[in-house]
A and B are shown apart, each in its own frame.
Chain A
Amino acid sequence: MGITFTIIAGLTIAAAVAAMTLRNLIHCALAVAVTFAGLAAAYLQLDAQFVGFAQILVYIGAVSILIVFAVLLTRGGEPSQEKVFSAASVTGIGVTLAVLGVLTWAITKSAVIQRDLPPQPEATVKQIGDALMTKYVLPLEVIGLLLTAALIGAVIIAMRDDVAADVRRRNKNSPGASVAENPPPHVGGYNN
């Protein structure tokens, strides 16, 4: 256990609390990036190297940037003056404390936590690759399909109405026209 775990745990919880309570949305997004980094350190501490690096690559390298872009595209850069917590926060906090209480009670009362640390398992990338290609090949293909659907869905949902109408009109008129001949109107940057 020792001091590394305490530092990692302290940093992660402090960053998570900051992410959920700060008023400025960009500060929240950066605090949650620190939380992800703390979790990646925890995975490395638990000898799950591939998962730790994948966590850094996906969460800090992509999801954090996605959140930040969404904050900017919805004009969240300037902190608003209205109240941060909604009217129903008391019930929310109550539910949270109840959940936390039940989880901690279950953990402390369980017999499973008395286990010692087993010897370091061998989770090389080659073994993960072999498992993905033999035992877990169906989930792998399905997640490919899911990611494609999410990609196309996100683009279509967030498309501006005039751009969407333009695409529909173009497809109705000439279904074989190439994009090169009818370039879409210039999509503005983040100014909508």
Chain B
Amino acid sequence: MINGLDQIFVTLKYWLVGQLANVLPASLLPLVSVLLSLVPILVVFPALFAITTVLERKGLGRIQNRYGPNRVGPFGFLQFAADGIKAIIKEDVVPRAADKVIHFLAPVVLVVPAFLVYSVLPVGRNMVAMDIDAGLLFFFAVGAASELAVFMAGWSSRNKYSLLGAMRAVAQMVSYEIPLILSTVTVVMIVGSLSTVDIVAKQSGYHAIGLPNWFVFTPWGFAGFILFLISANAEANRSPFDMPEGESEIIAGYFIEYSGFKFALFFLAEYLGLFAVSGLAITLFLGGWHAPLAALEFIPSWVWFFAKLLGLIGLFIWTRGTLPRLRVDQLMNFAWKFMLPMALINLLAAACWHLIGAGATRWIVCTLLVVGFYVLLGRGLMAGKKLAKRVYRYAN
């Protein structure tokens, strides 16, 4: 029965395919099977987006010592419905000098890769839409294709602010892609496969002290997880890396000239991208759909995946509310001078972990390597700056 609940969606899909096999010709069945795998993705993740917008606004509000939206529905939880209706019925304003075709295509080209990447994320046991051999490469390839859409949006509006925002956004995304991919290369090295299903399978089982076999509980995995989360934050243009779309700096950056439904599509694409990289972080470092303790394995696998996803979303909302925004040059310096060397050292640490056999030595060596270089790099980069305690001057 426990296994039944875990596999309930899989059995439901096979039952539906069996029912439709009596009705439809056999040549259409593979297509139907694929569609049945995709429709849940198209339903669940936009629903999660709707819930997250409300949660984020209420969470940010509480961090900033105010209520979030609390008018629409019980405790404001129907705010997403109000936002959706507003976005759909708002007038779609296109600037006269804008490049109409590209202006129209940019949100579409942004949303399609955002949905495509979900097909390789294993949401539960046996629940992945596409089990391809090079799943991780597919994820990063399709993610990289969305950068062109950002540029299309910024350039087609014929607006200096939006072009500036688009250039900054593209530069930021290209810079942070390298630490993102390097921190996943450590996992690929240890697992020996690019397939997401294999990566999750390698993290099953538990250590002697009851700690699960997840990669985040290893020195290189922990450093890699932190690097991955920071790069994911920057890739999704979220605070503290949201200079390209900071509302007080450049007034929404590359989507200034978009209104109504197209703006809603940009918003959707940004949050879907956030969920996708969180899902990938869970797959790579947090053990995917595995339970953290052996005693809790009766809870279905997809519940664990979504619980971890909600936890990571909460973490992103928390960082957004707490940390101030980074300036563009600070952001680029951080990526190239700190994150990239740390990711390379992490690669070295993972290699040492694999080559030194199991035992206490590898824990000590890898931890020393990661922590030592972190301290050295931090000291080195701060050497030239004159940092002092902040002095306030008040007008008299």
The answer to whether any beta carbons of A and B sit under 8 Å apart in the complex is yes
- Asked if A56 and B148 make an inter-chain contact with CB atoms under 8 angstroms apart, the answer reads no
- Asked if B164 and A181 make an inter-chain contact with CB atoms under 8 angstroms apart, the answer reads no
A33 → chain B closest CB, angstroms: 6
- Asked if B193 and A60 make an inter-chain contact with CB atoms under 8 angstroms apart, the answer reads no
Across-interface contacts of A21 in B (CB, < 8 A): none
Across-interface contacts of A172 in B (CB, < 8 A): none
Stretch at the interface among A61-69, A83-91, A156-164: A61-69
Whether B137 sits at the interface, judged by CB under 8 Å, is: yes
Across-interface contacts of A49 in B (CB, < 8 A): 132-134
| Most A CB within 10 A of own CB, among B132, B177, B194, B381 | B194
Among A61, A62, A77, A180, point to the contact of B385 (Cβ < 8 A). A180
Chain A, range 134-192, C-beta contacts under 8 Å to B = 178-181, 189-190
A191 → chain B closest CB, angstroms: 10
Among B140, B164, B194, B383, point to the contact of A125 (Cβ < 8 A). B194
Chain B, range 161-213, C-beta contacts under 8 Å to A = 164, 167, 170, 174, 177, 192-194
Task: Please name the residue on chain B nearest to A49 by beta carbon.
Answer: B134
Whether B8 sits at the interface, judged by CB under 8 Å, is: no
Task: Please name the residue on chain B nearest to A182 by beta carbon.
Answer: B384
Distance of A125 Cα from B132 Cα, bound (Å): 10
Whether A39 sits at the interface, judged by CB under 8 Å, is: no
A64 → chain B closest CB, angstroms: 6
Contact pattern, A 118-135, Cβ under 8 Å of B = 1, otherwise 0: 000000111000000000
Whether A54 sits at the interface, judged by CB under 8 Å, is: yes
- Asked if B192 and A65 make an inter-chain contact with CB atoms under 8 angstroms apart, the answer reads no
Among A27, A53, A72, point to the contact of B138 (Cβ < 8 A). A53
Distance of A64 Cα from B133 Cα, bound (Å): 26
Task: Please name the residue on chain B nearest to A180 by beta carbon.
Answer: B384
A4 → chain B closest CB, angstroms: 13
Task: Please name the residue on chain A nearest to B174 by beta carbon.
Answer: A65
A126-B192, A180-B385 known; A68 vs B151 contact (CB < 8 Å): yes
Whether B60 sits at the interface, judged by CB under 8 Å, is: no
- Asked if A65 and B102 make an inter-chain contact with CB atoms under 8 angstroms apart, the answer reads no
Across-interface contacts of A65 in B (CB, < 8 A): 147-148, 151, 170, 174
A56-B145, A180-B385, A189-B164 known; A50 vs B134 contact (CB < 8 Å): yes
Interface residues on A, range: 20 to 34
Whether A16 sits at the interface, judged by CB under 8 Å, is: no
Distance of A50 Cα from B133 Cα, bound (Å): 9
- Asked if B141 and A61 make an inter-chain contact with CB atoms under 8 angstroms apart, the answer reads yes
Contact pattern, B 69-113, Cβ under 8 Å of A = 1, otherwise 0: 000000000000000000000000000000000100000000000
- Asked if A57 and B193 make an inter-chain contact with CB atoms under 8 angstroms apart, the answer reads no
Binding site secondary structure of chain B: helix
Across-interface contacts of B174 in A (CB, < 8 A): 62, 65
- Asked if B384 and A125 make an inter-chain contact with CB atoms under 8 angstroms apart, the answer reads no
Across-interface contacts of A30 in B (CB, < 8 A): 102, 148, 152
Across-interface contacts of B384 in A (CB, < 8 A): 178-181
Across-interface contacts of B17 in A (CB, < 8 A): none
Distance of A26 Cα from B154 Cα, bound (Å): 12
Whether B127 sits at the interface, judged by CB under 8 Å, is: no
- Asked if B167 and A60 make an inter-chain contact with CB atoms under 8 angstroms apart, the answer reads no
Contact pattern, A 39-60, Cβ under 8 Å of B = 1, otherwise 0: 0000000000110011011001
Distance of A77 Cα from B99 Cα, bound (Å): 12
A60-B145, A61-B144 known; A53 vs B134 contact (CB < 8 Å): yes
Whether B142 sits at the interface, judged by CB under 8 Å, is: yes
Task: Please name the residue on chain A nearest to B329 by beta carbon.
Answer: A186
- Asked if B134 and A180 make an inter-chain contact with CB atoms under 8 angstroms apart, the answer reads no
B298 → chain A closest CB, angstroms: 35
- Asked if A33 and B148 make an inter-chain contact with CB atoms under 8 angstroms apart, the answer reads yes
Whether B214 sits at the interface, judged by CB under 8 Å, is: no
A96 → chain B closest CB, angstroms: 28
A153 → chain B closest CB, angstroms: 18
Contact pattern, B 118-159, Cβ under 8 Å of A = 1, otherwise 0: 000000000000001110011011101101100110010000
- Asked if A57 and B147 make an inter-chain contact with CB atoms under 8 angstroms apart, the answer reads no
- Asked if A26 and B155 make an inter-chain contact with CB atoms under 8 angstroms apart, the answer reads yes
Distance of A103 Cα from B164 Cα, bound (Å): 45
B355 → chain A closest CB, angstroms: 15
Among A26, A62, A126, point to the contact of B144 (Cβ < 8 A). A62
Across-interface contacts of B155 in A (CB, < 8 A): 26, 68, 72, 77
- Asked if A50 and B137 make an inter-chain contact with CB atoms under 8 angstroms apart, the answer reads yes
Top 10 closest pairs, chain A to chain B, by CB: A180-B384, A61-B144, A57-B141, A56-B141, A53-B141, A53-B137, A60-B145, A125-B194, A125-B134, A181-B384
A-B contact pairs, 11 of them (CB 8 A): A26-B102, A26-B155, A50-B137, A53-B137, A56-B141, A56-B145, A57-B140, A57-B144, A61-B148, A64-B148, A189-B164
A53-B137, A62-B174, A68-B151 known, 15 other contacts, Cβ within 8 Å: A30-B152, A33-B148, A37-B145, A49-B132, A50-B133, A53-B134, A53-B141, A60-B145, A65-B151, A72-B155, A125-B134, A125-B137, A126-B192, A180-B381, A189-B167
